[in-house]
Amino acid sequence: MFRHRGPKRSFQQNIRLAVLLCLTAGFVNASGFLGFFVLTTNITGHAALLAVKLTEGDLRAVRMVALWLVLFLSGAFCSSLYLAKTGAYTVPIMIEIIILCAVGYFGHTFDKSVVKTEYFAGSLLFAMGMQNALVSVISGSVVRTTHLTGMFTDLGIDLAAAYMKAPRVQKKIVLRVTIILFFLLGGIIGGFAFIKLRYHCFYIAGGILVIAMCYDFFRVNLMLFKKRFLTHFP
């Protein structure tokens, strides 16, 4: 699911990537909003908020929102740089898991203060920046997990192409719909989980990422075992 990149990836690999990572992103977006009153998986709204606060002269809010933009960018930069240098995906995902678990552990200390809002929302934005860059690099920008504006636009384009009988667009439509549905599903689950578990619900998001890593690890090793078995016992 993570090991192949760009054109080498199959449609099934992209679907599995979309299911697990979009589920995580939707979960974090909903639970992060309920917990810290900030959308934590995209920065389009924050860019608009930054402009509004600048016009209002609210420099304290400008600094906070600008920090969030920088943290999302930094997460994407660090993840992409690590992938480019090592080709491995485990460290960015492990960092994201650690951040989610840390938010789950310390979240109960959130007191709605500006400082705590900066810390908690900023850490989640950094983690989501890492995830979005990771998935974009691995899938060749076919899968994006943390925001839906581009997905709805691409889906509209693909639906128009399908209506005009263009070839080879069915799989694109299925992938776009999968991304949208699982992001929404993750948001629904995240909302209910936060109501029931409060900040401990972020452990669930970390657990989904653990499942994604374990699935990839065991699937590859199972394939290697089959090859060795067939070599010795044809």
Where is average pLDDT lowest: 13-17, 22-26, 114-118, 144-148? 144-148
Distance of CA 78 to the CA centre of its chain: 15
Sign of CA pseudo-dihedral 109, 122, 151, 22: negative
- We report the CATH number of the domain holding residue 181 as 1.20.1250
pLDDT of amino acid 176: 93
1 lies in some domain: no
Nearest to 43 by CA among 55, 54, 29: 29
pLDDT in tens, 45-84: 899 999 999 999 999 999 999 999 999 999 999 999 999 9
**Cα separation of 22 and 146, whole Å?**
7
Owning domain of residue 46: 16-232
In a domain, 217, yes or no: yes
Identify whether 23 is part of a domain. Answer: yes
Q: Is residue 92 part of a domain?
A: yes
Domain annotation covers residue 47: yes
Are 78 and 184 spatial neighbours (Cβ–Cβ below 8 Å)?
Answer: no
Residue 102, SS3 per DSSP: helix
Distance CA 89, CA 182 (A): 22
Q: What is the pLDDT of residue 231?
A: 61
Domain assignment present for residue 4? The answer is no
Number of domains in the chain: 1
Residue 63 maps to a domain = yes
Is the overall model pTM greater than 0.95, yes or no? Answer: no
pLDDT: which is higher, 147 or 71: 71
Distance of CA 69 to CAs 26, 29, 57, 95, 150, Å? 19, 16, 18, 19, 19
CB 98 within 8 A of CB 126: no
Note whether residue 179 is domain-resident: yes
What are the tens digits of pLDDT across the range 162-177? Answer: 999 888 899 999 999 9
